[in-house]
Amino acid sequence: MNDMRIADRTVSSDTAKMTARGVQVYYGENHALKDVDIDILGGTVTAFIGPSGCGKSTFLRCLNRMNDTVSIARVLGEIKLDGEDIYDKSVDPVTLRARVGMVFQKPNPFPKSIYDNVAYGPKIHGLTKSKAELDQVVETSLKKAALWNEVKDRLHAPGTGLSGGQQQRLCIARAIATSPEVLLMDEPCSALDPIATAQVEELIDELRSQFSVVIVTHSMQQAARVSQRTAFFHLGHLVEYGETGQIFTNPQDPRTESYITGRIG
């Protein structure tokens, strides 16, 4: 009978792709993230949910050292990617960000052609040897991002001329062109209409066969729809982390319960 249950979302791996231990983040005096321990699984979509200012985006930005760009931010504790400390002095943040890609809330294509938007990453990281190989990467990335059919005849038109949903999928194609191992998404659908949102969600589900996806979302329904694991953040603490079906039917912490049922937490 257990095979017939749909409540537990299956994950293809139970090995940790990224691990965080005792992570603290300070913005100046402000203690934004307090002692976060989490294992991000391989081949899994993990959703971070929580009210505004709870620390979920802050933590997401720790995972590819985006907080390095904030001068007053201090990150303590340990974050590992495949067992390797990403805050080690020997790690180049730019190379790290090619392995841990990011998609932002608002579509932000470069003011370049569709082709160049996607080709940019592989070019600067020297991932391709020939024009033919680069063409192939651009095509594959656009196909994975479910955008190829819509843009294949106008690859040299400006990326900024696409619709909002197409621009966001272009940004996803750009992020996956460097073959990252983890894809971070910060509210990737908040500027999109429901149809474009559904397309991006479908895409996220397809992407997890190749990467771990971590998504920050304010839409709890979206977290429930796309993720296999959900982490709930509140006032800088990671309150609860577990299988998505369990979090949404039977959360163990009263704060999680209050938040996901829409009560004052």
Partner 1 sequence: MNTEKHIVSSFDRDLEGVQAMVMKMGGLVEAAMLDAAEALDTRDIELAARVRRGDKVIDELEERIHEECARLIALRSPTASDLRTVLTVMRIAANLERCGDYAKNLAKRVPVLNEMAIVAGATGSIRRMTRTVVLLLKDALDAYIMRDAHMAQDVRLRDQEVDQMYNAIFREFLTHMLEDTRNITACMHLHFIAKNIERVGDHATGIAEQVIYLVTGAMPDDERPKDSAIPAIGTEAG
Site residues (vs partner 1, CB under 8 A): 220-221, 224, 248-251, 254, 256-258, 260-264
- Local structure of residue 38 (DSSP, 8 states): E
Q: Which is nearer to partner 1, 125 or 225 (CB)?
A: 225
Kindly state the tokens that stand for 73: 């931010």
Q: Which is nearer to partner 1, 129 or 263 (CB)?
A: 263
Q: Which is nearer to partner 1, 137 or 223 (CB)?
A: 223
Q: In angstroms, give the least distance from the CB of 259 to partner 1.
A: 10
Q: How many CB atoms lie within 10 A of CB 186?
A: 20
Q: In angstroms, give the least distance from the CB of 9 to partner 1.
A: 15
Q: In angstroms, give the least distance from the CB of 93 to partner 1.
A: 38
First to last CA, the chain: 37
Q: In angstroms, give the least distance from the CB of 249 to partner 1.
A: 6
Kindly state the tokens that stand for 136: 């192939």
Q: Which is nearer to partner 1, 211 or 232 (CB)?
A: 232
| HSE, side-chain direction, 13 A CA sphere, residue 110 | 14
Read off the amino acid at residue 78: E
State the Cα–Cα distance between residues 74 and 181, nearest whole angstrom. Answer: 25
Q: Which is nearer to partner 1, 196 or 220 (CB)?
A: 220
Contact 75, 23 (CB under 8 A): yes
Q: Which is nearer to partner 1, 132 or 264 (CB)?
A: 264
Q: In angstroms, give the least distance from the CB of 253 to partner 1.
A: 11
Q: In angstroms, give the least distance from the CB of 246 to partner 1.
A: 8
Cα 80–Cα 82–Cα 85 angle in degrees, nearest 5: 30
Q: In angstroms, give the least distance from the CB of 240 to partner 1.
A: 11
Q: How many CB atoms lie within 10 A of CB 82?
A: 14
Contact 255, 241 (CB under 8 A): no
Q: Which is nearer to partner 1, 156 or 263 (CB)?
A: 263
Q: Please, what sign has the CA dihedral across residues 19, 57, 26, 231?
A: negative
State the Cα–Cα distance between residues 150 and 138, nearest whole angstrom. Answer: 14
* Bridge partners, 242 (sequence order): 230
